[in-house]
């Protein structure tokens, strides 16, 4: 018997059922004329920009990328991120009145999941509760399980565009609650929470003495608001929270370079928070990623940091064109779905569209079963909504039942559209119609 | 009052006193003729090899480095690591009888500290005990504190070349002990544990039903053994543990690419362990570094993985010459120290030399005070031995006292020699003699 029994919290950490989806794919008899349409992956659809890869190429010849760097991330990159945020959140604009952030309130991490893990590990201790909208991004759940925190599901409202309710959140806060953790634009639902809603959540967090953590991985894909003056910018302002002088007493904002700059393999994300929170995060980061305990010693990967420190302004146009391309693909996708009887896009944004399958499939049909048949019989791979929900036997599910949430009807699939072509999108309606026919035939 | 109070285990996690050392440096009046000699940093002394940076440069033009990769690390790199290990641990040699490892027993991590954190988080749960030789590498302590594990100090024996005793380890094992965590070649002491000693520790771990975790960050700097046949290799075999068919029931070996390939800024390390342990590590890694939960999705940084997958054999000669250069610098350092009255190198290897300061300084002088005066008054920055020990008020210190360990006499300094020139080494004796004079003068 091996001595190396696995004993940590990892034992009770969920393994999302992605391998199931891979098994479905293998059962679909793909042909050249009837290829598999894979809409399951939340990954960039394009290569990084040439100016980025060219700079990486040049910089790799220098000594510096091989050295340890700052635990909190390179100064140059943090300065560049501050400037970029000034554009995204508009405090660079004259008369914006926005306060914004300084580079001391920015830390670079090895990806946004690490940013979330670091944040949760410093804000919470064992047994603490965190409110998290459901459906949820399952890596968040894994972090809670590893850290022995209790996720409290805050149901997104299908009848309200898959947004969370501030009043419902308020009713779920207990003395053990330490944070509300939102994702906007949302994964899996694609919902872009309106600035006013995020403002209300921040107010609730503030009055409750807890943190508001917002994962803004897809923040650069917020479309410009029609209410903004023409010429005021090509991106939508994700929220107004950084306009408040005391934002860092309540807010922690997380971001990722993976999606905006199409470089997930380079592993960079970030945390925007108070100096106090970042100091604690540095201590944890020191253990999980690096090797020397001092200001300069430990770091996320240096090479992409050095390249991006110079290039963020130059990359801005490509980022905006990526955002526009995503928006237009989502529009094409919505138009495609709209012609299929019974199917309905219920929310979308960023990389994702959340889609309701037909009621006529029957009340007992689960999203997992529909996703399975759609994959195996019609060759369209999506992820079923139930994979972003608590298990039926879990306390979280029972809590959703008690709240009378519509979510327990389990009628949705997540379509990821970032890495699919227009051609692929155009093939979807026919496949969904085939599934409709299969269900109609009662097979 | 900010809502974002820091509540996690990070609150009780130590902050090593490196900033103190930085304050010392600022007080030394360095001049061109009397420069500061910084022997405090465990970092490579040279740039990475040109074949490595050239390949990084080329590969960065491809799409692949920007994509997510395998959670466990790229197949190609794991295969290359397996081959490299076959050379290091000699199972590639004809008639070696060694069993070795397969690539499924290798995982790539974002640095060796992360490897240690992942390993401890899956092998132990809260309150478990881990035996760890003292003096210790302080990042290990931080990991224990973050994971709420109890480090049990196993004193290295100054009168026995700073090696740990198997019998003493046995007496410290309790029902809560889950692992013995060794570092060889050692940081901070430089000690290279003999293969027979590691074998005995593995035997003890096996019979006690616990794991033996060996951090082998400096494994490529084990000098060839004089007892080996000529031509049998330019590197010393670190240990024989991989020769056993059931090694993975007891052993977890950790390594780093940072030191051997002089690329700490690229953040790559590794774990060699059973499939069961690695599977659990993957789940934790998924949260702390990456973004998608599936076989291909999550990963350490891709670019250096892709480059090293091809280049390990080509880099072998440079690795061996680095090892020889380190050994010759250590020899030069030992020779330099030998001419200074009262100073004595007590163990050395890899990046480090552990040095005893003169008894005539008096029994009440602490290593921190000696390091401080050596830095401020003589311009030689080292790290005092007590920074690698428990605090005097800690349970660990009291335990060392109860065991009658010589360590509590606190007479040692760590000199890091990897990134200093021969010229710097040659300047050291004069500075130490100055300190001797200062102490002799009673000032």
Q: What are the DSSP calls for B121-139, one per residue? A: HHH--TT-EEEEEES--HH
Mean pLDDT computed over A35-51: 93
Q: Which of A255, A283, A288, A309 to mutate to test the interface with B (most CBs of B within 10 A)?
A: A288
- Mean pLDDT per 10-residue section of chain B, whose length is 443 residues: 66 67 91 95 91 93 88 90 92 74 93 90 93 90 86 95 97 97 96 96 97 96 71 78 93 95 91 93 66 46 86 88 93 97 96 97 96 97 94 91 95 96 97 98 85
B263 at interface of A, judged by CB pairs closer than 8 A? yes
B185 vs A111, more confident = B185
Q: Which of B23, B60, B62 to mutate to test the interface with A (most CBs of A within 10 A)?
A: B60
With CA atoms as reference, report the closest residue to B346 among B355, B338, B358. Answer: B355
A21 vs B359, more confident = B359
The reported pLDDT for the residue numbered B291 is 34
- In eight-state DSSP terms, residue A222 is P
Contact A6 B256 (CB under 8 A): no
Q: ipTM for the complex? A: 0.84
Across the interface, of B10, B288, B290, the residue whose CB is closest to A122 is B10
Question: Strand order of the sheet with strand B352-356?
Answer: B344-349, B352-356, B412-416, B383-384
Given pLDDT bands bounded at 50, 70 and 90, which one contains residue A415? very high
Q: Which of A40, A214, A265, A285 to mutate to test the interface with B (most CBs of B within 10 A)?
A: A265
- Taking CA–CA distances from A126, the nearest residue in chain B reads B8
Across the interface, of A53, A112, A264, the residue whose CB is closest to B68 is A264
Min Cα separation A299/chain B (Å): 7
Q: Which of B74, B147, B265 to mutate to test the interface with A (most CBs of A within 10 A)?
A: B265
Across the interface, of B249, B287, B303, the residue whose CB is closest to A139 is B287
Min Cα separation B438/chain A (Å): 30
B296 at interface of A, judged by CB pairs closer than 8 A? no
Contact A299 B265 (CB under 8 A): yes
B299 at interface of A, judged by CB pairs closer than 8 A? yes
B111 at interface of A, judged by CB pairs closer than 8 A? yes
A12 at interface of B, judged by CB pairs closer than 8 A? no
The reported pLDDT for the residue numbered B287 is 61
Mean pLDDT computed over A350-367: 96
The domain ranges of chain B are: 9-47+317-440, 59-315
Four-CA torsion A330, A336, A341, A344, nearest 10 degrees: 0
Measure the CA angle with vertex B260, ends B255 and B263; round to 5°.
95
Burial class (CB in 10 A: 0-12, 13-18, 19+), B425: buried
The reported pLDDT for the residue numbered B5 is 75
- In eight-state DSSP terms, residue A244 is S
Provide the 10 A C-beta neighbour count for residue A261: 25
Min Cα separation A14/chain B (Å): 9
| Cβ within 8 Å of A, B 356-415 | none
Q: Are strands A129-134 and A177-183 parallel, antiparallel or unpaired?
A: parallel
- Taking CA–CA distances from A144, the nearest residue in chain B reads B287
Six-digit token string for B263: 């690329």
A146 at interface of B, judged by CB pairs closer than 8 A? yes
The reported pLDDT for the residue numbered B324 is 92
Q: Do domains A9-47+317-440 and A50-314 have the same CATH topology?
A: no
- Please report residues of A whose CB lies closer than 8 A to that of B267: 110, 289-290, 299-301
Q: How many CA atoms lie within 13 A of B369 on its CB side?
A: 10
A99 at interface of B, judged by CB pairs closer than 8 A? no
- Taking CA–CA distances from A204, the nearest residue in chain B reads B3
Min Cα separation B382/chain A (Å): 14
- Phi-psi region at A392: left, alpha or beta (left = phi > 0; alpha = psi -120 to 50): alpha
- Please report residues of B whose CB lies closer than 8 A to that of A138: 293
- Please report residues of A whose CB lies closer than 8 A to that of B6: 122-123, 276-277, 280
For residues A131 and A212, give the distance between their C-alpha atoms in angstroms, rounded to a whole number: 10
The reported pLDDT for the residue numbered A233 is 64
The reported pLDDT for the residue numbered A291 is 34
A61 at interface of B, judged by CB pairs closer than 8 A? yes
Burial class (CB in 10 A: 0-12, 13-18, 19+), B442: exposed
Contact A300 B209 (CB under 8 A): no
* Residue B341 φ/ψ, nearest 5 degrees: -55, 130
Indicate the class that CATH gives domain B59-315: alpha beta
Across the interface, of B147, B211, B294, the residue whose CB is closest to A3 is B211
Beta strands in A58-173 (DSSP E): 106-109, 129-134, 150-155
A283-287, A344-348, B68-72: range with highest mean pLDDT: A344-348
| Cβ within 8 Å of B, A 19-58 | 19, 22, 41-44, 47-48, 53-54, 56-58
Q: Which of the following CATH numbers is that of domain A50-314: 3.20.20.70, 1.10.3720.10, 3.40.640.10, 3.30.1490.20?
A: 3.40.640.10
The reported pLDDT for the residue numbered A88 is 92
Residue A405 has pLDDT above 60, yes or no: yes
- CATH code for the domain defined by A9-47+317-440: 3.90.1150.10
Is B227 within 8 Å of B188 (Cβ atoms)? Answer: no
The reported pLDDT for the residue numbered A290 is 39
Is B348 within 8 Å of B333 (Cβ atoms)? Answer: yes
B209 at interface of A, judged by CB pairs closer than 8 A? yes
The reported pLDDT for the residue numbered A60 is 92
Residue A41 has pLDDT above 90, yes or no: no
Is B262 within 8 Å of B322 (Cβ atoms)? Answer: yes
Min Cα separation B284/chain A (Å): 7
Mean pLDDT, chain A, whole residue set? 89
B169 at interface of A, judged by CB pairs closer than 8 A? no
Across the interface, of B211, B274, B299, the residue whose CB is closest to A265 is B299
The reported pLDDT for the residue numbered B296 is 44
Contact B266 A303 (CB under 8 A): yes
The reported pLDDT for the residue numbered B16 is 60
- Estimate to the nearest angstrom the gap between the alpha carbon of A419 and the chain centroid: 16
- Chain segment A194-244, per-residue pLDDT in tens: 999 999 999 999 999 999 999 999 999 998 876 555 445 678 999 999 999
For residues B378 and B435, give the distance between their C-alpha atoms in angstroms, rounded to a whole number: 7
B2 at interface of A, judged by CB pairs closer than 8 A? yes
- Chain segment A293-341, per-residue pLDDT in tens: 344 444 678 888 888 888 888 898 988 899 999 999 999 999 999 999 9
Min Cα separation A141/chain B (Å): 9
A117 at interface of B, judged by CB pairs closer than 8 A? yes
Contact A299 B211 (CB under 8 A): no
């Amino acid at each position: 018997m091996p001595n190396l029994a696995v004993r940590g919290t990892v034992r009770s950490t969920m393994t999302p059922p992605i391998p199931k989806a891979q098994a479905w794919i293998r059962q679909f008899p793909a042909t050249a004329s009837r290829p598999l349409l894979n809409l399951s992956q939340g990954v960039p659809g394009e290569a990084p920009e040439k100016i980025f890869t060219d700079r990486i190429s040049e910089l790799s010849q220098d000594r510096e990328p091989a050295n340890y760097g700052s635990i909190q991330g390179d100064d140059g990159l943090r300065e560049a991120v501050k400037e970029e945020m000034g554009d995204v959140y508009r405090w660079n604009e004259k008369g914006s009145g926005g306060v914004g952030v300084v580079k001391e309130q920015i830390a670079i991490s090895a990806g946004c999941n690490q940013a979330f893990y670091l944040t949760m590990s410093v804000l919470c201790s064992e047994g603490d509760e965190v409110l998290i909208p459901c459906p949820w991004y399952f890596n968040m759940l894994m972090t809670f399980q590893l850290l022995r925190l209790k996720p409290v599901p805050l149901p997104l409202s299908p009848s309200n565009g898959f947004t969370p309710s501030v009043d419902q959140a308020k009713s779920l806060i207990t003395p053990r609650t330490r944070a509300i953790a939102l994702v906007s634009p949302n994964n899996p639902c694609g919902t872009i929470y309106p600035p006013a809603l995020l403002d209300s959540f921040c107010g609730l967090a503030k009055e409750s003495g807890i943190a508001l953590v917002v994962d803004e991985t897809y923040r650069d894909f917020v479309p410009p608001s029609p209410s903004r003056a023409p010429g005021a910018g090509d991106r939508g302002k994700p929220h107004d929270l950084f306009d408040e002088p005391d934002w860092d007493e309540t807010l922690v904002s997380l971001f990722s370079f993976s999606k905006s700059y199409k470089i997930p393999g380079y592993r960079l994300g970030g945390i925007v928070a108070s100096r106090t929170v970042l100091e604690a995060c540095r201590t944890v980061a020191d253990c999980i990623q690096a090797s020397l305990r001092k200001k300069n010693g430990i770091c996320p990967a240096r090479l992409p940091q050095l390249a991006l420190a110079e290039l963020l302004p130059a990359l801005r146009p490509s980022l905006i064109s990526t955002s526009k391309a995503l928006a237009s693909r989502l529009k094409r996708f919505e138009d495609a779905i709209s012609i299929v009887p019974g199917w309905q896009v219920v929310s979308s944004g960023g990389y994702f569209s959340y889609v309701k399958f037909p009621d006529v499939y029957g009340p007992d049909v689960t999203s997992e079963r529909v996703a399975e048949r759609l994959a195996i019989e019609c060759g369209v791979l999506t992820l079923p909504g139930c994979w972003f929900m608590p298990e039926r036997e879990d306390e979280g599910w029972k809590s959703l039942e008690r709240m009378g949430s519509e979510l327990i009807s389990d009628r949705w699939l997540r379509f990821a559209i970032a890495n699919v072509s227009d051609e692929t999108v155009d093939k979807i309606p026919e496949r969904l119609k085939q599934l409709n026919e299969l269900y109609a035939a009662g097979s």
